Amino acid sequence: MRPWQFYFQRSLLLVTVPLVALFLILPLLSLVERTLRIGAGHALSGNLLREAIWVSLSTTTLSALFILIIGTPFAYVLARKEFPLRGLINILVDIPIVLPPAAAGIALLLAFGRNGLLSQWLPGIQLEITFTRTAVIFAQLFVAAPLYIRVAHLRFQQRQVELEEAAQVDGASPWRVFWSVTFPLAAPTLAGGIVLSWARAAGEFGATLVFAGNLRATTQTLPLLIERALATDIDAAIASAAFLLILAFFALLLARWLLRLPDKM
């Protein structure tokens, strides 16, 4: 390496890394510091927080399961099969990633709400999804599924032609090829994708608030508890924010590890 290059890189390092680290780490550090100061045990033992953790865990687990079951074959078809409007559908899939969550909530309300489009198309059937746990899952599916579908889609676009063809030549049915070759080969990447999606669902706030409302022990997830507690019990708000932070950190750690695994069985 030439000397000027060394100094160039070193000066960039000295300027940008502390700046970015300070900007990112300081808020997170403050959160953890305050949680420890107010006594995390006391704050975590509250009923409100326990109920919110249960609502969050049950809804995000179901959301992740649905995303896996529907998203995997969908991403596979999107990557491997030509069909009309594929380009358009490809764009539509990404929209929730850039859409403000509150806008997603309004969109869900106008689609699946009491006076929504679906209700108008199905006269005689009173849709009662809003303000239920189903609504929480709808909101999470809407905002989190695109992350998994995009990861899975990119993975399925890399074909293991030789292995898949070898299996086919040996007489395996397309179903068998998918389950015994394509899926296992992609499994670590898919697992990383689902962890990312799950983390996004766990942090979901705006769409849930608008579409599912905020009711203790029913639709009140951890992010919604933060808003509630901000007005009444700031210690609980700080503790749940810290809890979400720790959850997010380990989810990202797990996702990184999974996505870097060599893709083999």
Partner 1 sequence: MQSRSFLLLLLTVALSLFTACGQTDDTLIIFSATSLTDAQEEMASVFAAEHPDINIQLNFASSSTLATQIIEGAKADLFASANILQMERIAEAGLLHEEAETFASNRVVLIVPSTNPKNIQGLADLTAPGLRIILALPGTPIRAYTDHLLSSAAADQDGEYLNSVLANVRSEEATVRLVLSKVVLGEADAAFVYLSDITAEVRDEIAIIATPVEYQSEIVYPVAILDEASPKELAASYIEFMLSPVGQSILAKWGFVLVSRIEN
Residues of this chain that interact with partner 1 (CB under 8 A) are 109, 113-115, 130-131, 209, 212-216, 219, 227-228, 230-232, 234
- Angle of the 234-260 helix axis to the 183-202 helix axis, nearest 10: 170
Using DSSP's 3-state secondary structure scheme, residue 128 falls into coil
- Of 29 and 92, nearer to partner 1 (C-beta) is 29
Distance CA 262, CA 161 (A): 17
- Are the C-beta atoms of residues 78 and 155 closer than 8 Å to each other? no
- Are the C-beta atoms of residues 153 and 87 closer than 8 Å to each other? no
- Of 109 and 247, nearer to partner 1 (C-beta) is 109
Least spacing, CB of residue 96 vs partner 1, in Å: 21
- Of 119 and 189, nearer to partner 1 (C-beta) is 119
- Are the C-beta atoms of residues 98 and 180 closer than 8 Å to each other? no
**Dihedral of alpha carbons 244, 247, 249, 252, sign:** negative
- Of 101 and 192, nearer to partner 1 (C-beta) is 101
Complete DSSP assignment for 76-119: HHHHH---TTHHHHHHHHHHHHHS-HHHHHHHHHHHHSTTSHHH
**Dihedral of alpha carbons 40, 46, 50, 52, sign:** negative
Least spacing, CB of residue 143 vs partner 1, in Å: 19
- Of 130 and 240, nearer to partner 1 (C-beta) is 130
Least spacing, CB of residue 216 vs partner 1, in Å: 7
Least spacing, CB of residue 36 vs partner 1, in Å: 18
Least spacing, CB of residue 233 vs partner 1, in Å: 8
- Of 242 and 251, nearer to partner 1 (C-beta) is 242
- Of 129 and 195, nearer to partner 1 (C-beta) is 129
Least spacing, CB of residue 144 vs partner 1, in Å: 22
Helix (H) or strand (E) run with residue 156 in it: helix 133-157
Which of these, 154, 147, 175, 141, lies nearest to 59 by C-alpha position? 141
Least spacing, CB of residue 46 vs partner 1, in Å: 14
